[in-house]
Amino acid sequence: MRAFREWFEDYQKNHRFQVVPRGLDQLDGWHFQEDSGNLVHRSGRFFSIVGLDVRTNFGHVHHWMQPIINQPEIGILGFLTRRIDGILHFLIQAKMEPGNVNGAQISPTVQATHSNYTMAHGGKRVPYLNWFLDSTSAKCLVDQFQSEQGARFLAKRNRNMIVQVHDDEPIDILDGFFWLTLGQLFALLEEDNLVNMDSRTVLSCIRFAESDLGEVSAEEKGDSASFGVDVLESLRCGDRFGLHDFNALTAWLTRMKTTYSLRIQRAPLNRVAGWVFDNGVIRHHQNRFFTVIGVEVAIDNREVGGWHQPLIESAKGGVICFLCQKHRGILHFLVQARVEPGNFDCLEMAPTIQLTPSNYDANNPERLPPFTNLLLDIEGVVRRYDAVQSEEGGRFYQDQNRYLVLELEPGRPIPLPANYVWMTIRQMKEFIRFNNFFNIEARGLLSCLCPKLPAPRGRAV
Amino acid sequence: MRAFREWFEDYQKNHRFQVVPRGLDQLDGWHFQEDSGNLVHRSGRFFSIVGLDVRTNFGHVHHWMQPIINQPEIGILGFLTRRIDGILHFLIQAKMEPGNVNGAQISPTVQATHSNYTMAHGGKRVPYLNWFLDSTSAKCLVDQFQSEQGARFLAKRNRNMIVQVHDDEPIDILDGFFWLTLGQLFALLEEDNLVNMDSRTVLSCIRFAESDLGEVSAEEKGDSASFGVDVLESLRCGDRFGLHDFNALTAWLTRMKTTYSLRIQRAPLNRVAGWVFDNGVIRHHQNRFFTVIGVEVAIDNREVGGWHQPLIESAKGGVICFLCQKHRGILHFLVQARVEPGNFDCLEMAPTIQLTPSNYDANNPERLPPFTNLLLDIEGVVRRYDAVQSEEGGRFYQDQNRYLVLELEPGRPIPLPANYVWMTIRQMKEFIRFNNFFNIEARGLLSCLCPKLPAPRGRAV
């Protein structure tokens, strides 16, 4: 890892990265459309900021309007992998994104919107992309659609990919790229703001072959303090060890989709009630939720050297938390069925807690989502994962959330609202094979459990 | 079965069923909307006929307009089951639908649109419905969203349900209802136009517990003539026996969804190019594809005694066919990735062949879909299933398709276009657990394989 750290520090030092705020009405290439007021690029590509009218019976607020990112094209988030000395390595990229709090973060080998790889911006060709486009040249380990933030994107999905080239295939390592083992990549997930959101979602799609999961010794098994062993057991246990079998979970999800409604309608951005264009930004009139800002970007290693673009700046202090608890001796995670306006199919499964406290009215604490009190409860709660992670820096400005996994002592009764259910990790992984079941916050947090697995750490299958 | 047949014949004899054509502009309760010309019910409920503008890169025709059924609400198709003398029985309903060719067909216990069960038509309460609405009163064996015809419906889905009441629960058998075992129900699938489309889709969701599948004796195993044994093996073989593993199939599907595009836009029905309102019906100017007709219905056992409604009358002669072939000794089915305008997510997996020959230009036989020639090929092709089945009589007028399963001799090479892939039944069943992967034609045909399974036939799990 020392080689990686030195390389990464050098990279950060040697690359220019500058982001300067600029009014949305002052962005080169972007303008507000005449009639709708939607914020669009003159090419008609990349993404646009549009208005949305939202009606739902989920939660406390049943009708609102908001700006949302519309990016209907499907991009690629992909890791190139190769076996080196018998061990599968992932080609990571140190990638600077305008919204990053700290310059470069670890990104997949390829992180390309459709505009990117068809070169709508007339820049450089995306390196290594061909391995992902030509399905015959490399072995495809993962290729799934997965959703992105439903509160910010309108039905956005990306292809999450991992491809493996032949052991003998010569791969040029370009500036900004580095080989890491999966174990190293997992270990780096323990650190703040280092493994970017796109990496986390791709890593969450990895399934482990039984042979790749470490054997658990008898002592380890007896060691009740080993959270890693519990994670492993929850990952490989058969369906019958779950509190609910998979059938029952599917039925629960169908009931939830029938119970909750989501009706959205596009609206002109200049007619979005409650939001104002003011001083070059679009903000909520109470300064809550998020603000659409403009930035001027100079990053020296991207396809183009500089550009202007809108970014979303969310309210600070977000928390994304899974509660887990042993049931019948197996670790279960408390999953929430959650409606978000941009969801492809009404609701997706989400972490137990997903909130930004400042978005809630301090005078109405009873409106806080369920289980929020457990964030303050130190009795009988063990903090299993606690790190600050960044959301996608290409669209979000310095957006960090605290990612938490809290374990409750076994036997402590937790009354569940109807839209919460306990699942094993194996069951969650089963849903993740199919698109639009688990949201990106849940998938990202789930990938943070991987470093907890006992060695040897798995390889992708 | 004799008891069933006598009961069913009696039922057909004793119930009135009359459908008379009536111009779309003469239907009580229905009218063409002022501006759009869309055909709607005055209550704003049930369904409507709207226009659609379709653009896709799939197939030979890349842009067209068409009428389509818009029915955004999610209905319930559900079988009530109970163990009687230790054997699971399904409560079937003899149901007359205006579009049926033959009066009543076997339908699920409950077949209710949302309008139905919230009693928008002011009729009788849907019997047995409560067992499906109250998840605590019966054990839920199946509860999944599944799609309906993407060529006729705009993103329509229904809940496919099977619930099991406790063995001691007294269930009143109302007029028109009858208990059948799953084995009996399967056997009736061998007959023409008897088990309706809604029953077939629900039956396709059944998964079998290992213990419910018959033991195959050594003789049976050695008997290459036993198609049933081959079906059983294909249903329970592990992923590694497939030509492709499940991961590779998911990746293939993702590639297909990236390769093919579908862009639809609602259009006013009176602006749908190529279609004319003429003599009380809406038809294609070349009399192809389908016609929207109006009917006056009198059926005496429905929630209301008589009504008017539009129905879709499709071109005759449709064929829905799976090709299957043994690969590595395991029966595989040739699955098509197919774009249809009403699909929820661009494409779904479909049978190998799904066509109505009269919709194709006889002068351009090269435009017929792949494998159509095999329908005429009698060399080395064994007909494993061949029956005429009806589509949903509540929306379609006398719409019958020939459902076929053809087995090709092993080793015969079949060149595959990129949007076709071989799968085991187990792999297909795995996709069916999740909504909007297999289309209703494929699911319906798959359920017709069940009678082939060696006894004892399974129970739902």
- Report CB contact under 8 Å: A247, B145: no
Give me the phi and psi of B95, to 5 degrees please: -120, 125
Same fold, A2-208+264-314 and A210-263+316-452: yes
Interchain proximity A247–B74, CB inside 8 Å: no
Q: How far is CA A353 from the centre of its chain?
A: 15
Which residues have C-beta within 8 Å of that of residue A284, sequence separation ≥ 6? Answer: A274, A275, A290, A291
pLDDT in tens, A372-427: 989 988 888 999 999 999 999 999 999 999 999 999 999 999 999 999 999 999 99
Residue A102 at interface with chain B, using a CB cutoff of 8 Å: no
pLDDT of residue B459: 40
Q: Which residues does residue A161 pair with via DSSP β-bridges, in sequence order?
A: A78, A143
Q: What pLDDT is recorded for position A280?
A: 97
Q: Token pair for residue A156?
A: 């956005």
Name chain B contacts of A251, Cβ cutoff 8 Å.
135, 140, 142-144
User: Is B250 in contact with A433 (Cβ distance < 8 A)?
Assistant: yes
Cα(B239)–Cα(B424) distance, integer angstroms: 8
Distance from CA of B303 to the nearest CA of A (A): 23
CA distance B260 to B258: 6
Query: How far is A409 from A174, CA to CA, in rounded Å?
Result: 48
How many C-beta atoms lie closer than 10 Å to residue A211's C-beta? Answer: 9
Chain B residues close to A247, C-beta within 8 Å:
140-142, 207, 461
Q: Give the start-to-end residue ranges of the domains of chain B.
A: 2-208+264-314, 210-263+316-452
Fold of A210-263+316-452: Nucleoside Triphosphate Pyrophosphohydrolase (3.90.79)
Distances (CA, A) of A243 to A2, A384, A427: 43, 22, 11
B255 vs A contacts (CB less than 8 Å)? 135, 143
> Element (H or E) spanning A447, and its range?
helix A440-447
Q: Exposure string (b/e) for B173-204, b if CB count within 10 Å is 16 or more?
A: eeebbbbbbbbbbbbbbeeebbbbbbbbbbbb
CB contact under 8 A, B145 and A254: yes
Please indicate if any CB of chain B lies within 8 Å of the CB of A429.
no
Using CA coordinates, name the residue in chain B closest to A249. B143
pLDDT at position A121 over 60: no
Query: Which listed CATH number (3.40.50.360, 3.40.50.300, 3.30.1330.30, 3.90.79.40) goes with B2-208+264-314?
Result: 3.90.79.40
A361 falls in which pLDDT band (50, 70, 90)?
A: confident
Contacts 24+ apart (CB under 8 A), A42-50: A43/A115, A43/A120, A45/A73, A45/A115, A45/A120, A46/A71, A46/A113, A46/A115, A46/A120, A46/A121, A46/A309, A47/A71, A47/A395, A49/A269, A49/A282, A49/A292, A49/A310, A50/A154, A50/A266, A50/A267, A50/A269
Q: What is the pLDDT of residues A81-109, one digit of tens each?
A: 999 999 999 999 999 999 999 999 999 99
CB contact under 8 A, B143 and A207: no
What is the average pLDDT value for chain A, to the nearest integer? 92
Radius of gyration of chain B measured on its C-alpha atoms:
22
Taking CA–CA distances from A261, the nearest residue in chain B reads B73
A149-196, pLDDT tens digit by residue?
999 999 999 999 999 999 999 999 999 999 999 999 999 999 999 999
Q: What is the pLDDT, as a whole number, of residue B367?
A: 86
* Prediction pTM value: 0.92
B135 interfaces chain A, CB cutoff of 8 Å: yes
Q: Is B79 left (phi over 0), alpha (psi -120 to 50) or beta?
A: beta
| pLDDT at residue number A224 | 52
Where chain B has pLDDT below 50, the residues are 457-461
What token pair was written down for B92? 């079937």
**Res A283: pLDDT:** 97
Cβ-contact A91, A80 below 8 angstroms: yes
pLDDT at B45: 84
Residue A459 pLDDT level (bands cut at 50, 70, 90): very low
Q: What is the pLDDT of residue B16?
A: 81
What pLDDT does residue A212 have? 64
* Closest residue in chain A to residue B141, using alpha carbons only: A247
In this complex, the residue of B159, B257, B461 whose CB is nearest that of residue A247 is B461
Task: Please enumerate in sequence order all residues whose Cβ is within 8 A of that of A195, keeping only pairs 6 or more positions apart, or say none.
Answer: A105, A106, A185, A188, A189, A203, A389
Q: Do B258 and A74 touch (CB under 8 A)?
A: yes
- Rounded to an integer, what distance in angstroms lies between the CA atom of residue B421 and that of residue A281? 50
A461 reaches B (C-beta below 8 A):
yes
Among residues B245, B213, B251, the alpha carbon closest in space to that of B229 is found at: B213
Predicted local confidence at residue A221, as pLDDT = 62
For residue A370, say if its preceding peptide bond is cis, omega within 30 degrees of 0: no
CB-based contact (8 Å) between B256 and chain A?
A: no
Q: What is the CA radius of gyration of chain A?
A: 22
pLDDT at B31: 97
